[in-house]
Chains A and B, each alone.
Chain A
Amino acid sequence: MIPLEQVLFFSIALFAIGVFGVLVRRNLLFILISIEIMLNAVAVLFVAAGNYHNNADGQIMYLLILTLAASEVAVGLGLVIQMYRRTLSLDVDQLASMNEQ
């Protein structure tokens, strides 16, 4: 079976990619996707950990994460549509009307 460390590093790497995506992408859609990636990285880790400790919590958490991801997508897409309706683009950098300047 796969040693735990590798799973850990894998999921951390995946998580880092997700974070990187959130930071660098301007498009709201891609930010959404990166968040999904992060969530999935966590999910993987949960599964592996649960397996390691062989108790069910990990798997349960995995299910919860899935539901969370689903609902987040739902809300997120709603916002995406709204935003596109308002400003015919998905560039989050344009959303800076409120600031201290």
Chain B
Amino acid sequence: MLMELISILLLGALFAWISESLQLQLPKWIAIATLLSAFYPLRQLLMELDTGSMQVWLVNESIEWIPRFNIRFHLALDGLSLLLVLLTLLMGLIAVLAAWKEISYKPGFFYFNLLCSLAGVIGGFCALDLFLFFVFWEVMLVPMYLLIAVWGYENRRYAAMKFFLFTQAGGLIMLLSICALVLLHYQNSGEITFNYFALMQHQLSDQAAFWVMLGFFIAFVIKLPIVPLHNWLPDAHTEAPTAVSVILAAVLLKTGGYGLLRFVLPLFPEASLEIAPVVMAIAAISIIYGALMAFSQQDLKRLVAYSSVSHMGFVLLGCYAFTAQAWQGAVLQMLAHGVSSAALFALVGAIQYRYHTRDLAQLGGLWQCIPKLSGMLLFFVVASLGMPGLGNFVAEFLVLVGSFSTYPKLTIMAATGLILAAIYSLKIAHQTLFGTLKLQSSIDLDRREVLMMLSMVLLLLWLGLHPQPIIDLAQQSINQLLVGARL
């Protein structure tokens, strides 16, 4: 099922590339078709999905890969993965729609890379063999790199390079940790294996556990990203084309949070519990620091990028509070931020497409000429400042509730992030939408964009007003974590 899913995406990517030579409009249609047909393998699962009586692993596929090290091509799906896979596919659709008019140069190769990176991400969300996970983790970078480096804006090379180097550094450290973990496991079990479950069984000595955990942690935190390892993000976002920013914000950052929830916490519960206070502090700092940086930016995309840093801080906060609410909050935050930031980037992209600038100083008064776009922008701005009734609020509130009991001071620190969020979010609205119109007017959102945005609006409202199904879906995975942490 999952293998079908991934291979569908890869095949679609190839077709998209080939079709370029036939007709320049073809690739995007193929991309859309591919993403839609990617739901086909999941149909049965989604049909008879019953969150009430659901076992942890919905799907579990495994075939031999590298017998020398007993490495298997092992894909599996639980509630958490399913949620993120769905998010990936949806945001993929959004990204393709966002790229619809913008990408005219070599569209085939563009969509090839887009779909490949999506395939890589989905693989990462499903892989349960550490080697396999690492492979996907790295593979999704290359197409991402190309997307930024070829179709990006002025300073794209620098940004792409920075993005790749940062993540690669994390990746290598993680590879180190994986090797160490496997060898330690070999030492007292006598068999080499990269299997998630096998490695989860075995107990490390405290010190060893700490160092190995640190390797994973750094890799994931770079991807998340967390201050002070966040610097690749603003550049990457600023220079990437709209669709790629959407994918970056909505999906790629989530792999970091997913990694924490899937690997770091279950594999090293004690060690994680040990460093939890420090991590919580870091998270709180990066929430506030990100917000402050966001406020000081003049480039709209940069502003939104820094706001992502601030929001992902909540994910980290949730991961290390070790309570069910906090973990649920982290998951919800990943989804909600995925949608809201994707929408924001899409809208900023739309503005850039119309006015060829992202500079707040040059924008202003857009409401007078493009009210629909402005309304949408206002909506998502409000969402990102955590308006109750929208996904982000529920997520952040759950995170705070979960972490307050154990770390009251840090939680209050993080809560001040809400004020700062309001400040920088309103800055966006104030500088772009209101005041006197500085630029010549332009066409408003067309039907495609309105529908695209409306779908995301509905998603956010759903997350905000009726998140229970999602919570139930993730509950099993969260329970696993609780069991692992012996809470």
Direct contact of A and B (CB under 8 A): no
Identify the A interface with B (CB < 8 A): none
Identify the B interface with A (CB < 8 A): none
